[in-house]
Structure 1
């Protein structure tokens, strides 16, 4: 049930990101200052922002940057985690010790704090820059997860049998260890994507995240703080979409975790 709910909500948000024209025919760049902070109406359900832009259009188009960022960071950090975690967990010894100590040290830096320091020193803060910075601070928990799963899998009977039959380390890892080691990572990454969306919104709200012309919910929240008492709808609508995206990933991750393992 959780998997269906999370997947359905995520599919709806993904449709907004891929085809925003299905949800609104307004242009988010069509702005008129005479409509600044106009309240919601039947013709414009979300009202207008500070620049007189249709707020529904901006909110719908903001889904693309937020979801793309979360997916890109998860894929980048996940790939790094698979390489480092599998090698360290299967090889053991000095290599495992080195990777583990580096992971422990790097994991001590909170993702928001690390992003705040690096992005505040960056002149241009587009989607690529924010993705790279968040990826730099997202891999440690994933490496730990893959490393632990690899260590557990390499001791299983079918892995021992494969080695006894003459299979080399590369073949054993690729055919037997990776399929079992990656599953916990997929479950974790599904829920962690929600953390990334929240982190981007926090950094952007603090003024060190994404910058226009990129459309994102974080940018909308940053601009809303200037007139939140005069126009509360500027804060409400992007916040609802942000919560919905985080909830979708959390439900998806929880649904995958509860799904029985096929043997």
Structure 2
């Protein structure tokens, strides 16, 4: 009996080796979060890569215009009035003899500043109103919803024109600076973000993990900033990304109407406003700032659509 057992052990040892180590347990991959999965999908989307590259280029131009042109945008020579594109002036000259390329590059800064600051301020105000109304509900939600509806009743452009029409410079002339335009567009543009945030918070606060945290005695502040806000901020970011392009377009519209930023400050809207009355003399002073404005607005809309598709669970 012992000989049979010894032979069996010898056969097993020959098959497995005299000191074959036990296979090491494989490490299981950590479960990825929704944000990690969304980012992984984003970097595979051509629409996201193209829009992100365009936006990055626009931000670099806005931050460092001197890297792209050394020509003073306010150095004008009437002898070059309405000259077309050439080697010395890639976009030609406007009716005042100013370099259109230089003005387009330097005008990027004011247009982008208005869009970014307005979007950030609207995101903060709208996000705060939406979180408070959606989380606390009852009379708090009723009051904040009433205030939001009152502002929703104001036509955006009409309200902005009325507000900006009251800004005057030291000479008493109607002139609104960059911050005046930012604050005005914020006042008339935060409501949609409040609505989006309110709906997201009302949905998230019904989740099981929020109820579990509440039953464990988590404070209201911890509940809002640790559980509710991080899980409801995604729709707000998507709306803010799309709105940023719309805000840049709104600033251009106000400047075109002569209500927003005024010369000698430079923005794409100011350039379009100055060029539209002389289309018969040449299209180039109107074409290039309009093209930059269109590309910028389209890039932010494409980015917002890509982020929305990546973070929407229904599309995954």
TM-score normalised to structure 2 length? 0.81
Match of 2:310 among 241, 259, 262: 259
Matches within 5 A, 1:54-203: 54-123=99-168, 124-203=175-254
Residues 191 and 252, structure 1, Cα contact 8 Å, conserved in 2: yes
2:75 matches 1:30: yes
Q: List gaps (5 residues or longer) in structure 1.
A: none
**Number of residues of Structure 1 aligned to a counterpart in Structure 2:** 262
* CA displacement at 1:171 relative to structure 2: 0.6
- Counterpart Cα distance in 2 of 1:114 and 1:105: 12
- Counterpart Cα distance in 1 of 2:265 and 2:240: 25
- Counterpart Cα distance in 2 of 1:109 and 1:233: 36
- Counterpart Cα distance in 2 of 1:227 and 1:78: 39
Match of 1:51 among 86, 96, 99: 96
Task: Classify the secondary structure of the residue corresponding to 2:280.
Answer: coil
Matches within 5 A, 1:205-216: 205-216=256-267
- Counterpart Cα distance in 1 of 2:159 and 2:116: 19
- Listed one character per residue, the Cα deviations across residues 139-195 of structure 1 (whole Å, up to 9, x for unaligned) are 100000111111001000111000000001111001001111211111110011111
Please identify runs of 4+ aligned residues in structure 1 that moved more than 2 A. Answer: none
TM-score normalised to structure 1 length? 0.97
Q: List gaps (5 residues or longer) in structure 2.
A: 1-45, 169-174
* CA displacement at 1:261 relative to structure 2: 6.3
Which structure has more RCO (C-alpha within 8 Å, separation ≥ 6)?
A: 1
Residues 10 and 248, structure 1, Cα contact 8 Å, conserved in 2: yes
**Greater radius of gyration (CA):** 2
- Counterpart Cα distance in 1 of 2:247 and 2:83: 31
